Amino acid sequence: MLASVGDGALSMREVHRFPNEPVRVGGTLYWDILALYRGVLAGLRAAGRETGGRLAGVGIDSWAVDYGLLDASGALLGNPVHYRDGRTEGMAERVARRLPPAELYAATGIQHLPFNTVYQLAAERDVPRLAAARRLLLIPDLIAYWLTGEAGTELTNASTTQLIDPRTGDWSPRVAEAAGVDLGLFAPLRRPGDPAGTLLPEVLAETGLTGPVPVTAVGSHDTASAVAGVPAEGDRFAYIATGTWSLAGVELPAPVLGEDSRRANFTNELGVDGTVRYLRNIMGLWLLQECLRHWAAAGTPYELGPLLAEAARAPALRSVVDAGDPEFIAPGGMPDRIAAACRRTGQPEPRDAAETVRCVLDSLALAHRAAVADARRLSGRAVDVVHIVGGGAHNELLCQLTADACGLPVVAGPAEAAALGNVMVQAGAAGAVPGGLAHARGLLRATQPLRHHEPSGDTAVWERAAARLTGGRD
């Protein structure tokens, strides 16, 4: 994404897009990290073509928790493993034997997800490459290292390792010790807005850019950038960053670390400008993406637009699944797994693709409703409006269902909130948008097209649908 910002103006557009296609080999699911790096270089080249080779800065964000290991010479030891790989099975139990879940939560505030970095490292414990490793770099830090030669660990993403104490913003030696993690593997912490080096001569040569091009640490966790890119006014808002995942919650000045919060599986990820992203992970449009992938592989490719239109006409809330259930994390066979979940809870199976999609969207809206309600209850934060950002902001049906389910107005957009939040932090560091998050959000409101959805219908139908998943229990 190439952005231009300053003097109260902001524009941004896509100059290059490349696919992210994981590869399964030898029973392990990997990221194709060099293909991604090649895409990054092609993107820089495309950006430079539009600016005469000059860029005022570069910021990098990506998904969280995953990492590359480097040897003493700085060479990458194998491809980073995908968090959806099955290697973390049983690891939470292993770590829990040394550190009870309540203590782990009180120390880190991070929700239990089977793929948190701490569990990935536990899974890797007896793998020779971990013994050979001298450095661990989270994905955006790895890309930054290749671009600049400088190694750092950006804090918002570091918090998703489940090794950071959110009160101090520093590593928790106690958690690391109990989980058997060597904190010496991590490069020094840096915060959004900190300088992160300049593009290496070889990168300038590859991309046709003219140096120096500074790299700035941003909210390198895509969700940190997306929340920075929420065009909210004041603090009485909830956000849902919807893409492959739905990340739903509120922005707070301090973490919430109580036992109620742990039981509700809320996380306290660190955000831009010293904020806390108090949220819950919900399966998100992954459920839909995986259905589409399955149908296409089975010889029935669907076009998304017409399928969504049909889903909008399908019976509402006929069946719902628990969109927070880790059973949906792994890829493969998604329509059947959704049907099986409907059967298990005594609901009718979807009869066709449109009904499956309707089930997915109703289930996401239901999970959004629960997350927003729990975030309000557990944090005490008042919420007047729900902002939906990320790719899902384009999905009008999902946005309307979410407004209906929450009984709150929804403001949809921008879809590219992560890229905009990334740019806002760079612009703040460069002095082009002074005044922190509140000011940057004002600029977003003034420049980005937003869509409004008013809630309709009775929220009691959503309550009844939720009861089907819990068998009437709370």
Binding site for ligand LFR (CB under 6 A): 63-65, 83, 221-223, 244-245, 247, 281
CB closer to ligand LFR, 66 vs 355: 66
Tokens of 157: 């993403």
Please report how close the Cβ of residue 430 comes to ligand LFR at its closest, in angstroms: 25
**Cα-trace Rg, the chain:** 22
CB closer to ligand LFR, 391 vs 442: 391
Please report how close the Cβ of residue 295 comes to ligand LFR at its closest, in angstroms: 23
Please report how close the Cβ of residue 74 comes to ligand LFR at its closest, in angstroms: 24
CB closer to ligand LFR, 76 vs 329: 329
CB closer to ligand LFR, 290 vs 404: 290
Three-state SS at 400: helix
Spatial CB neighbours of 20, under 8 Å, sequence gap ≥ 6 = 31, 32, 36
Q: Which long-range contacts (CB under 8 A, 24 or more apart) does 301-310 make?
A: 302/353, 307/353, 307/354, 307/357, 308/357, 308/395, 308/397, 310/353, 310/354, 310/357
CB closer to ligand LFR, 19 vs 346: 19
Round to whole Å and give the CA distance between 25 and 108. Answer: 34
Please report how close the Cβ of residue 220 comes to ligand LFR at its closest, in angstroms: 10
CB closer to ligand LFR, 80 vs 428: 80
Distances 338 to 288, 313, 360 between C-alpha atoms, Å: 11, 20, 8
Question: How many residues would you count in the chain?
Answer: 474
Tokens 């409006």 identify what position? 385
Please report how close the Cβ of residue 334 comes to ligand LFR at its closest, in angstroms: 18
In one-letter notation, the amino acid at residue 446 is A
Please report how close the Cβ of residue 34 comes to ligand LFR at its closest, in angstroms: 20
Classify each residue of 6-25 as buried b or exposed e, where b means 16 or more C-beta atoms within 10 Å of its C-beta.
eeeebebeebbeeeeeeeee
CB 186 within 8 A of CB 151: no
Distances 411 to 388, 404, 414 between C-alpha atoms, Å: 6, 13, 9
Please report how close the Cβ of residue 249 comes to ligand LFR at its closest, in angstroms: 11
222 is catalytic: yes
CB closer to ligand LFR, 88 vs 244: 244
Measured in degrees and rounded to the nearest 5, phi and psi for residue 15 equal -110, -15
Tokens 């104490």 identify what position? 165
Question: Which residue in the list 66, 222, 322, 404 is annotated as catalytic?
Answer: 222
Spatial CB neighbours of 302, under 8 Å, sequence gap ≥ 6 = 292, 295, 296, 353
Residues annotated as catalytic (active site), given as ranges? 222
